[in-house]
Amino acid sequence: MAKVKTKFYCTECGYESPKWMGKCPGCNEWNTMVEEKETIIKTAGVQSSLTQTKEKPQAIIHIESGQEPRLSTTFGELDRVLGGGIVPGSLILVGGDPGIGKSTLLLQSSNALAGTGLKVLYVSGEESLRQTKLRANRLGKLSEQLFVLSETNLQYIEEAIDLMKPDFLVIDSIQTVYQPSVESAPGSVSQVRECTSAFMRIAKGRGIATVLVGHVTKEGAIAGPRMLEHMVDCVLYFEGERHHSYRILRAVKNRFGSTNEMGIFEMMESGLREVKNPSELFLQERPLGVSGSIVVASMEGTRPVLVEMQALVAATNFPSPRRTATGIDHHRLALIIAVLEKRMGMFLQNQDAYVNVAGGMRLDEPAVDLAIAVAIASSFRDMPTQPFDVVLGEVGLTGEVRAVSRAEQRVKEAEKLGFKRIIMPESSLRGWTPPKQIEIIGVQTVAEALTAALG
């Protein structure tokens, strides 16, 4: 007979406790412990392994290594973020705000994979078959190899997988699927953990590439226990403003590729369209001949992206001036302002400073420091920058400009988009030959950069 047991779980880290506590000992978060009832059923025997085989330990030097075969989704941006395509047997988690386009992206990818001859099963726990078909009609021609199932019971989903034996599986979403043997509501810590474990065994044991859609909390993190992200092979976040048409796909975790890559999509009437040249997208509305605006060449993984850096410096009405940063680190902005005050003699203590990266991009690398300094100085002096200049470089505390990585790729991207000058660290010009079609100005200090940019 089954025995019912009550436990408390942390919704952030999955910590388990026999009693309620205000502060979780695992992650030190407050008011995250929730009560759940577990049904313990005693079964004989040992549970099977992931691969359903009994293997012996092997010396690592005798294990054959090779390139993992990958399934191309025909979306170059999605394949780039995944590291070159979908690895068979991998478990992928996709999160994002409601209505951002997660289901549309996966439905388009599933249809594209089915068009190559693969058998695809799309399990929807939030929509009926008719609703899914209405949403899929706007994507264009549909493939006969794309199968849709509207089900939330894990046992019935496993039966459909055994019957169909798909090559690619999509679960939309993991918070709606429930295991009947677990006596708790769908979406709870126990249900999400048990269902994810079941899909992990299915993916690894049968070699089925599986994608799980995860809901997010109001803070933007994936709902459910934190261990959900540890169990999967890849975690993708689909970001963007609902009132804008552009979406950004980022990899937070990837066992088969880099986590620095970024994919950009545009939401159209017929679904998502990949943006192959994001630099043109971020610069198409850039004003020319105004103060406080400069273009910076940033690296997103292996791809150089040119974006506009904007700054506004205005007199403050408060005892302490405001420092507002959008798209860059707030502490980095304070550091650059301190360097300009100390090394360049700019009196910014009675000035509010606002810095924004146009287009909703997030720039974390130090190569954008010099562009921040030039934009602030341009706005403070009310002197416009040259419309076809690109600035890049890391700024040190003594006012020096340090070298940046992959300078050659950044210069080629600027040249391709028609820019005339690049102001960059002099130390980054060693070891390669700059193109003749673009003027490159090497600088060693912030003072030299401001003189070259503003005169």
Does residue 25 contact residue 62 with C-beta atoms inside 8 Å?
no
61 is known to lie in a ligand binding site: no
98 is known to lie in a ligand binding site: yes
25 is known to lie in a ligand binding site: no
Residues 6 or more apart in contact with residue 304 via CB below 8 angstroms: 279, 297, 298, 406, 409, 410, 412, 413
103 is known to lie in a ligand binding site: yes
133 is known to lie in a ligand binding site: no
Residue closest to 311 by CA, chosen among 300, 298, 296: 296
Cα 56 to Cα 53, 59, 63, 307: the distances in Å are 10, 10, 12, 53
141 is known to lie in a ligand binding site: no
Does residue 271 contact residue 85 with C-beta atoms inside 8 Å?
no
101 is known to lie in a ligand binding site: yes
40: phi then psi, degrees, rounded to nearest 5: -95, 120
446: phi then psi, degrees, rounded to nearest 5: -65, -35
Give the N- to C-terminal CA distance of the chain in Å, as an integer: 84
Residues 6 or more apart in contact with residue 123 via CB below 8 angstroms: 148, 149, 150, 151, 157, 160, 169, 170, 171, 172
293 is known to lie in a ligand binding site: no
Residues forming the annotated binding site? 96-103
Residues forming the annotated binding site for ATP? 96-103
